[in-house]
């Protein structure tokens, strides 16, 4: 599996959000809480976001073992989670 740099991962995660939330997701600061910044980012939207990120990067999120509410609450945390997951798969 190829390694992706932080910027590429961040851009692709942001792209996932833009597909669902359009312009509201375009210029999100990395540390902004998604549930505050994106209208309609409720529990169902959060689940769809996690699933879309899994699909985008070919990773599997462990809903029991990983703190999904934490890791998928901001763009920056999601980017870090994906980067770590990709590194784990490559190891």
Beta carbons within 8 Å of 18's beta carbon, 6+ residues apart: 25, 26
User: pLDDT confidence of 19, banded at 50, 70, 90?
Assistant: very high
Domains, the chain, ordered by start = 6-90 (1.10.1200.10)
Give the pLDDT score at 4: 85
- Above 90 in pLDDT, residue 3? no
40 burial level (CB within 10 Å; 0-12, 13-18, 19+) = exposed
Residue 78 CA, chain-centre distance (Å), reads: 4
Largest CA distance in the chain: 38
- Above 50 in pLDDT, residue 1? no
Please provide the size of the chain in residues: 91
pLDDT digits (tens, 9 = 90+) for 33-86: 999 999 999 999 999 999 999 999 999 999 999 999 999 999 999 999 999 999
């Amino acid at each position: 599996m190829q390694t992706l740099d932080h910027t590429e991962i961040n851009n692709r995660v942001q792209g996932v959000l833009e597909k669902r939330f359009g312009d509201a997701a375009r210029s999100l600061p990395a540390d902004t809480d998604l549930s505050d910044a994106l209208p309609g980012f409720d529990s169902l939207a959060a689940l769809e976001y996690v699933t879309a990120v899994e699909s985008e990067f070919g990773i599997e999120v462990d809903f029991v073992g990983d703190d999904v509410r934490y890791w998928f609450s901001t763009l920056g945390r999601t980017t870090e989670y994906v980067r770590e997951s990709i590194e784990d798969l490559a190891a």
